[in-house]
Structure 1
Amino acid sequence: MTMPQRHVALRLLAALTLVLSGSSAAFAWSLTMSSASRRVYLHVGNGVEAGDSGTINVVSVTVPSNQLGNGTPLAMTSNSTQSRSLQGDNYLTCPTPASQLLIGASYQRNNAGGGSAPMSATLSVSSPATLINTSGDSIPISEVSWTVSAPGSSVPNIIPAGTYNGGTQFLATIPANTYIENCHSFSYANSAVRAAGTYTATITYTVTSP
């Protein structure tokens, strides 16, 4: 007999919020950038060097029927193909993008602006309380967590590891004229037996400069 499978999928979305002047942020490595007119930049997974590509990447896992709810965390895979930094030296930050997600952001401002622009921007992530399937069954979003890495970096946790909490979580402060980035690997806690189905949620990463 074939047992129905449980599939957990997260849609990861980059969002930018900029009020008045400009800033930009980044993760994993921390790179100094030239001053420029105020602007923010963010990419989550696949992206481009500047502008909004509109790409929404997905991390997912299918839970085998013989492992349902056994409490052993399961690694999630990604449909991202972005392995190299989009800023600086094209460094190989995420060697295996099929199981990792590159997240990077920057904030820039003109140092000659008389100090009117904020000295930093903020990176945050927002998540819903649950993942939901088409039948209305749900899984707490806190079942999904992530670790971080950045090969060769002295600050691999410049964007820290964590667990989604169903709200907005502060991740990092981005100093002016700085880019930060690192590589995120996701896992599903698998702490309880769930009804069959594909459970989804959209996670939004945001860079803000008030």
Structure 2
Amino acid sequence: MDLRLSRLPGLPGIRIASRVLLLPVLATAGIGDACAYTITIGTGTKAAYLRVGDGSISGGNYNAGGTPAANTTVNLVSVAVPANVVGNTVDQAMTGTGRLTSDLDGFVFCSAGQVYISAFFRLPTTANQSATLRATSPTTLTSAGGDTIPISQISWTSSGIGDTGAQPIPAGTFTGGTQTLATLLRNTWNESCHTFRYGNDAIIAAGTYNARVTYTLATP
């Protein structure tokens, strides 16, 4: 996921571009209909799947035998900050783009402006193993002129339409370096919707600030 913040002279603004990262599923397994945020899936050939933002699936939804596939779409998360509130410490909500439906069953799981994230780690057995979802980010967003904004100014909340319990991929803040976002039990489909925000805690110099965050799903 690419992060880009822009502050224009005379009209301060913030813009965040999100690159979707998708790891292709190696095989498929059928499951029953469901639209909860954590669902048990059937055993099958060992495979790992991660979708952040947009994604592709062929042959129908996963619960109907579909196969997720790689997708190189770049999604955008952005916010325009009015000049009279720049640096006033009030969080600025960001609006994301991208598909809002789950590849599990086609359910519209996220609301407009959120970023959909889903993952699973499938095994041919029910061995007690888990995969680890991590995000790796630089410590700052940096402009061409060398000005910086701490990456910790970017945070997110986590939810899902129809959900009432804790999310499998919970709320957090980028810390710089590699951080663990979630531990996901084998043979479960996990999905959450992230709403990003900018902390707006300082008056920043005009310019475009960039950083890249890489999501990975590590398996035993």
Q: Which TM class, normalised by the smaller chain length? A: 0.7 to 0.9
Distance in 2 between residues matched to 1:83 and 1:175, nearest whole Å = 24
Q: Which one-letter code corresponds to 1:155 in the other structure?
A: G
Give 1:7 deviation, angstroms: 2.5
Per-residue CA deviations over 1:114-170 (Å, capped at 9, x if unaligned) read: x5xx72111111111111122121100000100011122243421110110011111
RMSD across aligned positions (CA) = 2.4
TM-score of the pair, normalised by structure 1: 0.83
Distance in 2 between residues matched to 1:155 and 1:12, nearest whole Å = 28
8 A Cα contact 2:51 2:118, kept in partner: yes
**Aligned mate of 2:123, from 105, 109, 115:** 109
Give 1:53 deviation, angstroms: 0.9
Give 1:15 deviation, angstroms: 6.1
Give the secondary structure class of the aligned counterpart of 2:84. Answer: helix
Give 1:10 deviation, angstroms: 4.2
Displacement over 4 Å in runs of 4+: none
Unmatched tracts of structure 2, length 5 or more: 1-8, 28-35, 58-67
Distance in 2 between residues matched to 1:195 and 1:140, nearest whole Å = 13
**Higher relative CO (CA 8 A, sep ≥ 6), structure 1 or 2?**
1
Query: Number of matched residues?
Result: 194
Q: Which one-letter code corresponds to 2:101 in the other structure?
A: R
Give the secondary structure class of the aligned counterpart of 2:152. Answer: helix
8 A Cα contact 2:23 2:70, kept in partner: no
Unmatched tracts of structure 1, length 5 or more: 23-27
Distance in 2 between residues matched to 1:60 and 1:95, nearest whole Å = 16
Per-residue CA deviations over 1:178-208 (Å, capped at 9, x if unaligned) read: 1100100010010010001221211111111
Structure 1 residues 91 and 156: CA distance shift in structure 2, 3 A: farther
Give 1:35 deviation, angstroms: 0.9
Residue 168 of structure 2 is matched in structure 1 by 158
